[in-house]
Amino acid sequence: MAYVSVNPNDGKTVKTFPELTDEQLDAKLATASKTYAVWKKTSYAARTAIMAKAGELMRAHVDKFAKHATIEMGKLINEARGEVKFSTDILSYYAKNGERFLEPQKLRPSFGEAHMESSPMGVIFCVEPWNFPYYQLARIAGLHLMAGNVVVVKHAGCVPQCAIEFEKLWIEAGAPEGLYTNLLISHVQSDKVIDDVRVAGVALTGSVAAGRSIASRAGQNLKQTSMELGGSDAFIVLEDADIEKTIPWAVWGRMYNAEQTCCASKRFIVVDSVADKFLAKFKTALEALTPGDPMDEKTTHGPLSTESALIDLLKQVDVAVKHGAKVLIGGKRIDRPGSFMQATILTDVAEDNPAFRDEFFGPVAMFFRVKDEDAAVALANDSDFGLGGSVFTGDVARGQRVASRVETGMMFINNIDWSDAELPFGGIKFSGYGRELGDMGIQAFVNKKLVRTHDMVAPLV
């Protein structure tokens, strides 16, 4: 694959980067393996110092990092700054809490004493997407490096400068060579990394197709994996919801991050008695967004990450319409330079429409009208995905009951505050398995070893 930085705001190529040769790749894996042999024995205090320094350096250069994200994948500049700051929070969080999360856990067997120890596994191969070019990296580096592992990372082909800058960060923070390694490699080379005996585990954030391919390859090698895949999250609005407070969340939930987020709100499921009011206000709010240069702070509607992403999304909408869906607003590209698409609302999406089970990775919202709460939950659960979801209601206890009934990895009541460093993130069904962040995330690639002491007479043979 090619590593090319193209500005989606104007379609101009910024810079192209060559892939590693097989010899260069082997050398980097050898270095990572040697570094692991030392890093796994490195004290938590020494790990913390490097982790904390990396966070401090990133925080000191927010604008530099943010600009790369905006130029390479079209993220609105203020959202890019927010992502960089959140990434520093993750690094700081694990610098502070990593050792505590991995302390030995005392058990209480019927006889003797026992505890669980946590120890690192080795070199972890991470395959990461472009939509959060720093956050995706911070949430693997913070966890796995503090656990004593080392990471080698294949980032997406359209954000090579973001990937390179993040690798430089660790060198500047005092990390040994091979602790964090960026790999500009092809898909064929990626398979070779998974097969390599020096690699202990594989973590992916990406599409369902990528998950199937990479998990299968890792499984053939009996290697531990974590998979964070796509989503088609339900945004449930009950009849007692405060619509004025709900609409801003609906707009943010669908349009944040250049409309390209795995856990974004994609299926808007609204109880009939408030459906007309919600839809009218949602439509008005989306139509008020202003497309433009994502470097301009006044812009509220940025481009898609690449021209191919735009073309694929337009095809999805066309297929949906051919199968009976109606376009309430949008559905076309915006007549201006760059890879821009109109904010779109699809209605009348029937169960036999391919769109019903698709994930739209862009500014396309599907609207569904249902008769009551039970119907809303049933429709929310009628999905191949299960990453996140939300419910809006005037009764928090009711919202908690609905949240418990929806089959998904995460649910949010009267908000869509997707991710915090201290909270686990992940899904079920086609949305993958495993959790990142929080105290669960750091356990993903560690050996949980039982140690038992029992002074007893050996059994007779």
**pLDDT for position 1:** 53
Indicate whether 188 pLDDT > 60.
yes
Whole-Å CA distances, 296 to 9, 67, 77, 168, 290? 11, 11, 7, 27, 11
Same domain? 48 vs 64:
yes
Residue that is written with structure tokens 């609409």 in the block: 247
> Could you give the 3-state DSSP secondary structure of residue 67?
helix
| C-alpha closest to that of 144 among 115, 121, 111, 170 | 121
Contact 409, 428 (CB under 8 A): yes
**For 175-179, what is the mean pLDDT?**
98
**pLDDT for position 13:** 97
**For 11-20, what is the mean pLDDT?**
97
Contact 126, 140 (CB under 8 A): yes
**For 379-402, what is the mean pLDDT?**
98
Indicate whether 391 pLDDT > 70.
yes
Contacts of 29 (CB under 8 A, 6+ apart): 123, 152, 193, 196, 198, 199
DSSP 174-223: TPPTTSEEE----HHHHHHHHH-TTEEEEEEES-HHHHHHHHHHHHHTT-
**For 200-223, what is the mean pLDDT?**
97
Whole-Å CA distances, 234 to 146, 328, 354, 425, 428? 35, 19, 17, 17, 14
Tens of pLDDT, residue by residue over 70-120, are 999 999 999 999 999 999 999 999 999 999 999 999 999 999 999 999 999
Question: Helices (H), strands (E): how many in the chain?
Answer: 14, 20
Same domain? 369 vs 249:
yes
Phi-psi region of 426 (alpha: psi -120 to 50; beta: other; left: phi over 0): left
Judge whether 424 lies within some domain.
no
How do strand 199-205 and strand 385-386 relate by DSSP bridges?
Answer: unpaired
Judge whether 425 lies within some domain.
no
How do strand 3-7 and strand 12-17 relate by DSSP bridges?
Answer: antiparallel
> Could you give the 3-state DSSP secondary structure of residue 94?
helix
Same domain? 96 vs 47:
yes
Judge whether 457 lies within some domain.
no
Judge whether 460 lies within some domain.
no
Indicate whether 345 pLDDT > 90.
yes
Same domain? 216 vs 317:
no
* CATH code where residue 323 lies: 3.40.309.10
CA atoms within 13 A on the CB side of 88: 19
Same domain? 213 vs 263:
no
**pLDDT for position 461:** 62
Please give the positions annotated as active site. 228, 262
Where does residue 459 rank: exposed (0-12), middle (13-18), buried (19+ CB within 10 A)?
exposed
Contacts of 1 (CB under 8 A, 6+ apart): 19, 157, 186, 187
Same domain? 136 vs 264:
no
Q: What is the rounded CA–CA span in Å between residue 169 and residue 146?
A: 16
Same domain? 222 vs 243:
no
Indicate whether 308 pLDDT > 70.
yes
> Could you give the 3-state DSSP secondary structure of residue 133?
coil
Q: Which amino acid is at 69?
A: A
Domain count, the chain: 2
Cα 369 to chain centroid, rounded: 29
Same domain? 306 vs 169:
no
**Residues 259, 260, 264: CA angle, nearest 5 degrees:** 80
Alpha helices in 239-390 (DSSP H): 243-255, 272-287, 307-322, 373-381
Judge whether 418 lies within some domain.
no
How do strand 233-237 and strand 389-392 relate by DSSP bridges?
Answer: parallel
Same domain? 75 vs 139:
yes
Mean pLDDT lowest among 58-67, 158-167, 255-264, 405-414: 255-264
Same domain? 207 vs 94:
yes
Q: What is the rounded CA–CA span in Å between residue 340 and residue 10?
A: 10
Same domain? 348 vs 408:
yes
Tens of pLDDT, residue by residue over 397-414, are 999 999 999 999 999 999
Indicate the pLDDT class of residue 2, thresholds 50, 70 and 90.
confident
User: For residues 341-374, b (16+ Cβ closer than 10 Å) or e, as one string?
Assistant: bbbbbbebbeeebebbebbbbbbbbbbbbbeebe
* CATH code where residue 62 lies: 3.40.605.10
**For 271-283, what is the mean pLDDT?**
98
**pLDDT for position 258:** 84
**pLDDT for position 66:** 98
| C-alpha closest to that of 137 among 154, 149, 121, 123 | 154
Same domain? 435 vs 328:
no
Phi, then psi, of 426 in degrees rounded to 5: 165, 175
Rg (CA), the chain: 23
Show the domain range for 246: 233-413
**pLDDT for position 460:** 63
How do strand 105-107 and strand 12-17 relate by DSSP bridges?
Answer: unpaired
Instruction: Please provide the size of the chain in residues.
Output: 461
Higher confidence at residue 455 or residue 183? 183
**Residues 11, 16, 18: CA angle, nearest 5 degrees:** 150
Judge whether 19 lies within some domain.
yes
How many CB atoms are located within 10 Å of the residue 283 CB? 17
